Structure formats: C-alpha cells, structure tokens
Structure 1
Amino acid sequence: MKLIEQHIRVTAALIVREMSTRYGSKPGGYLWAIFDPVAHVAMMTLIFQAFARMPALGLSFPLFFASGYLPFTFYQRMSSFMAGTMKANKTLLSYPVVSPFDAIISRFVLQLMTDALVTALILMMILAMSGATASMNTAGMIEAAGAAAVLGLGVGTINIVMFARFPLYEQIFGIINRPLFMVSGVFFLPENLPNPFRDYILYNPLVHIIMWFRQSVYPEYRADGLDKGYVIEFALVCFVLGLLLLTTSMREIREDRL
C-alpha cells in the first residue's frame, strides 16, 4: 500500500513538473496548446472551402475537419510526447524512488488531459459559431479518443527504446509516420475510395479511430468498414510490446546506457 502511495505522489509531482517545463508558469504557454489545433482546423477549412461547396459530411467544414483532425492528434501528440520521456527525465531517473513507469504515466495523464480539454473547447467553439445543434454521442467520442491515446502510448513507449537503440530507426519511423496525416481519413471518408485502395487503407488503425470518432459526431454516418475490435487489439499489442521492451531495458535506462 505504501509503495502504491509513493508512486502516486511521485507521479503527481512529475505531472506538475511536466506542466511547468512544457507550458511554463504563464497562461500563454497553455493557451498555445489550444491555439495550434484551432489554427490547423481554420486553415484546412479555408483551403477546402475554396475547392468544394460542401463537406463530405454535414454542412459545416470546420466540424468535418475537426472530427478528423482532433482524434488524429490524440495519437500523434501522445506518441511524440511519450517517445521523449526518458530524455526529458534522465536526471530524475538516477533517484531510486523515481521509476521510468512513473515518468510514462505522468506524461500520459498530462497529454490526455490537455488533448481532452482542447477537443472539448474546439468542438464547443465550432458548434457555437455555426449555430448547429448536433446530437453528438459523447461516450463514443471518448472511447475513440481513448483508443487513439492508448495507441499513441503504445507506439511512443516502443519508440523510447527503439530510438535509443537504433538511431536509423528513428529516421525511418519519421519517414513512415509523416504521411499518416494525409492517408488516415482526416480529409476524406474511406468508404468513398475505390477498391483496392479502400481495403488497403483499412489496415491503418488510425482510419478506424477517425471513423469511430466521426460516427459519434454525425449520427447519420454509417462508417462502413469500421472495426473497433481491430483498433483495440492493435493498440493493446503496441502497449504490451512497449512495456516488454521497456522492462528488458530498465537497467540500461537507469544507468543511462541507452
């Protein structure tokens, strides 16, 4: 029991430290976390409104792009933030009381809270500005966002070890990860693609996460091809693999040999 309380206190202290380090003591630091996705949604809306009269779903361009961009960022920001966990906490890991898992949990909680707040604020802003009264499935949105966050946690945890052991892998991962934004369904509906491209793209779990989230935003959206079980299984496999890699590399991380 005392050990659990100790880990909770350490994790809470690390969350406060991460908030101070990442966002600073001024409110402007945290406001940037909100402004950045708002700017992305606004920019995408302006670009695509110039080429299309109507979005692929509904009547609101901002809502359509937000319903694709926001769940994608749950994965993207989480995986990126988690991958840098050990480098950011290298000095603290020399203390026996601080475990690498404490650092991972603290970063996961902070990023999840930040993304959840940003998502809620952006959706409320879009609905207020458009005057829409969408009957969104909040539970479904939370489930999809949670699956994206766990996927980001798993991939990020794997990359903690892989980036340190294989510098070339970091470059390869960056090349592969970069176009995901374009091929994950942020800008389009996967079911509108012709075969065999539609079948190929459904191997990407992020496509299912975005379809899952959009289905919760748009009650009329059928999301043909959505496989929630595939997303959950993929995310859990990545998470378990990340934990195994981290556990086997624990001594090297402690001794700063990675």
Structure 2
Amino acid sequence: MLREMSTRYGRSPGGYAWALLEPIGAIVVMAVGFGLLFRSPALGNDFLLFYATGYMPFSLYQTIANVTARSISFSKPLLMYPAVTWMDSLLARFLLNTLTGLLVAIVVFWAILSFSSTTTVLDLPLIALAMGLSALLGLGLGTLNCYLGTRIEVWDIAWSILTRPLFIVSGVFFLYEGVPEGAQKVLYYLPWIHISGLMREGFYPTYRPEYVSVAYVLLWSLLPMVFGMMLLRRYHKDLLNR
C-alpha cells in the first residue's frame, strides 16, 4: 500500500490533491455544461448534487477496476519474493484506492451540501451500500481482467474499447425512468445503472427506483471475482514468467 501511494500520488505535483481535484473538476464541468442546456436536472434542483450522485460511485468502480486489473504487472518485481503473493498486491491496491475513493466522496458531498442551498435527508445505509457495491464490482471485474489482461496481450485494449460508452449509459447524466421503455430493457442488464439508482435514492427521499436489484449487482461482482481468483491461483507463476 505504501508503494502504491508513493508511485500513484507521490510522483506528481500536488500528490493526493489530484485525487480530490479530478472528480470536483469533472462534476463542475458537467453541472455548468448541462446547466446551460436545461433549467433543472432530472431530479431535484441542484446540478452539482445530481451529477455527483451518479459520478462518484462510477468513478470509484472505474478506479478500482483499473488498478486491480494491473496488480500483477505493477507489482511484478515484488512478486518475485516468496513472501509476497499475488493476493497481497490485489488487496493492497483495492484497499488503498477504496479508502481514497470513499474519503474523496465524503469531502465532495460535504462541500456540495454545505455550500449550496440544497436541503436533503440522507439515507446513509443506502449510500454506503451503493458505494460498497461499486467497490465490489470494480474488484470483481478487475480481478478477472488481471488474469485476462496479463494472459492476452490485446485484452486491455479490447476491454477499453468495449467499456468506453459505460460513462454515458451508466446513469451519470440521466435517470433510468427518464429513457424510453425500449432503452430501459437494455439498460436494466447493466449493473452500473442499478448502483446509480441506489445512490440517488440515498440522497433524494422522494425517489424510489423500483428497478434496482442488489442481488443482480452482487452476481456481476462475485462471479468474475471467483473465476478471476481461481485462474490467478492456478496460473500466477506462469503470468510472472511471461
């Protein structure tokens, strides 16, 4: 974890400040841009809060999925020591980036609620559940991609191309109920849309996303995680020698 901290944040000017400035900048740009196009967001009357409730869980998932997918290639020199295992590398990157993402989310939401006129009643268990599912989904897909990306040379590029539209269709910009019924039938099978709905339910007391299925998100998270860990346990030595 210390090595991850020093390499990820210690080499750039500002260090950990970028972990906070990056999501704030993205949310402000989205709020200003869409604020010029629409009178009010799809839910509530604060653009910053609406886009933050969609962006922060997706950002947490994306960060964890990316860093865990590169665990073996990133820590390859350390994994040559018998005392250090592939699981150590995976868990260190997951824990550090999860704690960082949660801390950043707390600061961002505190700032939005403190300096805006928005009043809301927070459902903290729902918010914690949404962020926890985001982290778990990132770990599950990241674990499987850790094997596939190391085994198949072009997998990282292919995965990047396939998942590029996720930011648009994950519910950051819109509500599931606000799209046509045909699109809803497709979007329902994306676990990210369930997480964004759950997150917004925690911030907007009047919002009730009936479509949300926690079990479905857990299925998306645990199945890739189990297969990824089985493959890494069986073939991690071969991957280190590639």
C-alpha deviation, 1:134, in angstroms = 1.5
After superposition, where does 1:125-204 map in structure 2 within 5 Å? Answer: 125-204=111-190
CA distance in 2: counterparts of 1:171 and 1:17, whole angstroms: 26
Whole-Å Cα distance in 2 between the matches of residues 238 and 145 of structure 1? 19
Q: Deviations over 1:64-120 (max 9, x none)?
A: 000000010111111011111111111100100001101111111000000000000
Greater shift in the superposed pair: 93-102 or 21-30: 21-30
The RMSD of aligned alpha carbons is 1.4
Superposed CA deviations along residues 23-69 of structure 1, whole A, max 9, x for unmatched, are 11888200100000000000000110011001111110000000000
What does residue range 77-88 of structure 1 map to in structure 2 within 5 Å? Answer: 77-88=63-74
Q: Output the CA distance in 1 between the equivalents of 2:154 and 2:86.
A: 24
Tell me by how many angstroms 1:133 deviates: 2.9
User: Could you say which residue in structure 2 is the equivalent of 1:234?
Assistant: 220
Change (3 A) 1:124 1:17: same
Q: Distance in 2 between matches of 1:249 and 1:149?
A: 25
Asked if 1:21 is matched to 2:40, the reply is: no
Separation of aligned partners in 2, 1:190 and 1:132: 23
- Asked if 2 retains the 8 angstrom alpha-carbon contact of 1:150 and 1:239, the reply is no
Deviation at 1:224, TM superposition (A): 2.8
* Structure 2 equivalent of residue 11 of structure 1: none
Unaligned runs of 5+ in 2: none
The correspondence for 1:222, drawn from 208, 214, 223, is: 208
* Cα drift, residue 167 of structure 1: 1.9
- SS of 2:229's partner is helix
Q: Which amino acid aligns with 2:76?
A: K
36, 52, 56: which is aligned to 1:66? 52
Whether the 8 Å CA contact 1:184–1:207 is kept in 2: the answer is yes
Kindly, what percent of the aligned residue pairs are identical?
38
Which residue in the other structure is 2:18 paired with?
32
Q: Which residue of structure 2 aligns with residue 116 of structure 1? A: 102
Tell me, in whole angstroms, the C-alpha distance in 2 between the residues paired with 1:211 and 1:177: 20
SS at structure 2 position matched to 1:54? coil
Any conservation in 1 of the 2:73–2:150 contact (CA below 8 Å)? no
Report the CA distance shift for 1:159/1:26 in structure 2 as closer, same or farther (over 3 A): closer
After superposition, give the CA deviation of every residue in 1:155-205 in whole Å (9 maximum; x if it has no partner): 111111111221222222111111100011110001111121101111000
SS at match of 1:249: helix
Residue correspondences, number: 242
What residue in structure 1 maps to residue 241 of structure 2? 257
The normalised TM-score by structure 1 is 0.90
> Are the counterparts in 2 of residues 70 and 119 from structure 1 also a CA contact under 8 Å?
yes
Q: TM-score, normalised by structure 2?
A: 0.96
For residues 126-146 of structure 1, the C-alpha deviation after alignment (integer angstroms, 9 at most, x for no partner) is: 011103332111111111111
Unaligned runs of 5+ in 1: 1-14
Name the residue aligned to 2:86. 100
